[in-house]
Amino acid sequence: MTVRTRFAPSPTGYLHVGGVRTALFSWLFARKHGGAFVLRIEDTDLERSTAESVNAILEGMTWLGLEYDEGPFYQTKRFDRYAEVIDQLLGAGLAYRCDCSRERLDGLREQAMKDKTKPRYDGHCRSRNVPADEPHVVRFRNPEGGSVVFDDLVQGRIAISNDELDDLIIRRTDGSPTYNLTVVVDDLDMEITHVIRGDDHINNTPRQINIIAAMGKIPPRYAHVPMILGDDGARLSKRHGAVSVVEYREKGLLPEALLNYLVRLGWSHGDREIFSLDEMIELFDIEDVNKASSTFNTDKLLWLNQHYIKEDDPKRIAHLLSYLMGKLDVDPAKGPDLVDVVKAQQERAKTLVEMAEISVFFYRDFDEYDPQAAKKHLRPVALESLTRMRDRLAGLEPWTAEALHQAVADVAEELGLNMGKVAQPLRVAVVGRAASPGIDITLHLVGKQACLRRVDRAIDYVRQRAEQQG
């Protein structure tokens, strides 16, 4: 048997991390078993489905590197096929037309609530002959008696009595098919062998298995993975922060960091935290996924992202960073080589957005000093070291990191100070804050003329401060 899995999102909003984890698990299972991964767009909700959401799904899948072998297939292009199956079920007496009014159905629901029983359709039209040319829905004739039993690859054996299932609608009054019908037809036609999806679909599975049995087919294996919770224990949503894949990209996360984090939400391999995609494929097993829900931890995701930033090729990081620098109105071509900037900042940023923000000073002068840094380091006592450094820098040739390091060391020795007492005022003068890469690398990348200009400004600032205090 060739393993075939699928990811079947509905294009009614953004591609969220819960959906991505489901896609990842399906993709890994297919890759591990040498099978095929199918992308299907379940766009039968004509009012809420949008082209923008479809594009976001495709864009997100591409960014993550979850390449699909077949698709994308669109359900809206398969309506004739669904109609064919529904007509076959009607012809075999396995489905029937129902013209029950909204008022009657609401009455059934209200009575069930009064009786504290599960609301369900009472089969009123099962034995009636509703004309095809009058407004009606089509209902699946669910088996009476017995149970639906299936062995879920994550949840274990699940048994649901048919008495708990009513005759669900498979075609609406407007002629459009419903989810439980379309997903069954698609899974069978696309020869899906394993359905990996969220555990919010568990209640649908017995209904779908009954429809499959009515069609004389064998159902796929099912694996229902638990939902992802926010840190407050509620289901993960927008109020917990970014949950859209595109948002995480815009916030400066690397796709491999997000995938690594998501694979560990509900699955583990010993105490190991870091997995390459190849290692995920080799080690992942859907049967090792936990039954319990997992809690999303943004700090852990950022820790992983920082790890991948540090380990990645500086050229690739520079390519990704260039776009973010542009959003800050910085032209990376007008300044130091962005690859050199990345090498200097690689261990200092948790996201690419943070790296971009702390790297702007390399390319343009800043407007204001960080107040705390200026208060601590740009004091009158720093005037002599800044003046001497300014003179030393003005005559320095060549402008190399090694020569700059030696210049700072020489001034510190001349003044009888440790290097920090010279380097920190100089850093605040050139960077605007008290944190940056090593002072030698910082000065080298900022460049001679910009350094002299900024040190002159700092000297004026310190003198003005001394006059105010004097």
Q: What is the mean pLDDT of residues 247-255?
A: 94
Q: What is the mean pLDDT of residues 128-157?
A: 97
Q: What is the pLDDT of residues 189-235, one digit of tens each?
A: 999 999 999 999 999 999 999 999 999 999 999 999 999 998 777 88
Contacting residues for 399 by C-beta, under 8 A, at least 6 apart = 444, 447, 448
Predicted pLDDT of residue 312: 97
Predicted pLDDT of residue 470: 63
Q: Is the pLDDT of residue 468 over 90?
A: no
Q: What is the mean pLDDT of residues 109-130?
A: 93
Contacting residues for 311 by C-beta, under 8 A, at least 6 apart = none
- Residue (of 467, 443, 464) closest to 455 by Cα position: 443
Q: What is the pLDDT of residues 387-403, one digit of tens each?
A: 999 999 999 999 999 99
pTM of the model: 0.91
Which phi-psi region, left, alpha or beta, contains residue 215 (left: φ > 0; alpha: ψ -120 to 50)? Answer: alpha
Residue 9: which pLDDT band, with cuts at 50, 70 and 90? very high
Q: Is the pLDDT of residue 240 over 70?
A: no
Q: What is the pLDDT of residues 43-74, one digit of tens each?
A: 988 888 899 999 999 999 999 999 999 999 99
Predicted pLDDT of residue 228: 92
238 is catalytic: yes
Contacting residues for 336 by C-beta, under 8 A, at least 6 apart = 362, 363, 445, 446, 447
Spot the catalytic one: 118, 217, 238, 291. Answer: 238
Predicted pLDDT of residue 32: 97
Question: By CB neighbour count within 10 A (0-12 exposed, 13-18 middle, 19+ buried), where does 457 fall?
Answer: middle
Q: Is the pLDDT of residue 430 over 80?
A: yes
Q: Is the pLDDT of residue 418 over 80?
A: yes
Residue the block writes with tokens 């990081």: 317
Q: Among residues of the chain, what percentage have pLDDT more than 90?
A: 91
Q: Is the pLDDT of residue 259 over 90?
A: yes
Residue the block writes with tokens 């900022």: 446
| Pairing label, strands 36-41, 70-74 | parallel
Q: What is the pLDDT of residues 285-308, one digit of tens each?
A: 999 999 999 999 999 999 999 999
Predicted pLDDT of residue 467: 85
Mean per-residue pLDDT of the chain: 95
